[in-house]
């Protein structure tokens, strides 16, 4: 039986819209790398993507909305990478430490993280726009399964729950990313630091 022409047209339009959006987000990333986040404007992104301003505004309301969409896409990509990296981890302590190290490595190697936490990036469009909701979502997705297993075993500290754990982890990691210390550039020292700060408030007897 042939497919509904209206449904087919809708699917085609959706695929075209997705391609156009990614074209704009890719162009924005190139502009961010070239000029920095704060110095990138809508006209430049539209030219880089070879779209009109009218088309641009169908996909992004303003510079802040564009930036947050780029950030959200990057966050989704990192989430998938992190799921692969942690797929064999069952112990919550290992998930917490290796997940935190994964994020800290991203600060050095992922373009968006390097731009966000660059000393040249003013707070107006940089660090203050790092969406806490995106970061909380990624952290929750990373730890939820292992946290629930440990909670069922009675290994979570009294008064601690998943929401509090996510908030605590996010605040620790964001502070480390925003204000790094050369002492923590060494991964062995960073692991020791994270084991001492992240684990005891969440897991019993560590």
Give the pLDDT confidence of 113-132 residue by residue, as tens digits. Answer: 677 766 555 544 444 445 56
pLDDT score of 9: 47
Q: Is the pLDDT assigned to residue 11 strictly greater than 60? A: no
Q: Same domain for 80 and 32? A: no
CATH number, position 129 = 1.10.357
Task: Provide the CATH number for the domain around residue 37.
Answer: 1.10.10.60
Cα gap 65→23, rounded to integer Å:
15
Where does a domain end: 11, 31, 60? 60
pTM > 0.75: yes or no: no
Binning the chain into helix, strand and coil, the percentages to the nearest 5 are 70, 0, 25
Q: Are residues 105 and 21 in the same domain?
A: no
Reported as a single tens digit per residue, the pLDDT across 128-167 is 445 567 778 778 888 888 899 999 999 999 999 999 999 9
What is d(CA 78, CA 102) in angstroms, rounded to the nearest whole number?
9
Please check whether residues 25 and 125 belong to one and the same domain: no
- Per-residue pLDDT tens for 14-66? 888 889 999 999 999 999 989 888 889 999 999 999 999 999 999 999 998 99
Same domain, yes or no, for 75 and 14? no
Domain boundary among 60, 76, 103: 60
User: Of 60, 82, 102, which marks where a domain is finished?
Assistant: 60
Distances (CA, A) of 48 to 20, 133, 161: 12, 29, 46
**85 and 14: one domain?**
no
For residue 46, give its domain range. 1-60
Same domain assignment for residues 97 and 197: yes
CA–CA separation, 31 and 25 (whole Å) = 10
If asked whether residues 20 and 113 sit together in one domain, one would say: no
Q: Would you state the pLDDT for residue 128?
A: 44
What is the domain count for the chain? 2
Both 99 and 189 in one domain: the answer is yes
Residues 99 and 36 in one domain: no
Same-domain check for residues 87 and 55: no
């Amino acid at each position: 039986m042939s497919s509904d022409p209206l449904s087919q047209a809708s699917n085609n339009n959706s695929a075209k819209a997705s391609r156009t959006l990614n074209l704009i987000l890719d162009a924005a990333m190139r502009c961010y790398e070239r000029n920095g986040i704060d110095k990138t404007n809508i006209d430049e992104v539209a030219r880089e993507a070879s779209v009109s301003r009218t088309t641009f505004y169908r996909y992004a309301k303003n510079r802040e909305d564009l930036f947050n969409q780029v950030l959200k896409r990057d966050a989704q990509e990192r989430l998938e990478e992190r799921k692969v990296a942690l797929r064999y981890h069952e112990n919550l302590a290992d998930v917490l430490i290796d997940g935190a190290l994964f994020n800290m490595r991203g600060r050095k190697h992922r373009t968006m993280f390097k731009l966000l936490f660059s000393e040249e990036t003013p707070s107006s469009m940089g660090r203050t726009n790092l969406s806490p909701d995106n970061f909380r979502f990624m952290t929750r997705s990373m730890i939820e399964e292992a946290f629930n297993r440990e909670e069922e075993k009675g290994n979570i500290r009294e008064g601690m729950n998943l929401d509090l754990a996510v908030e605590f982890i996010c605040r620790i990691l964001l502070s480390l990313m925003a204000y790094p210390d050369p002492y923590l550039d060494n991964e062995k020292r960073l692991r020791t630091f994270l084991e001492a700060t992240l684990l005891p408030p969440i897991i019993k007897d560590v």
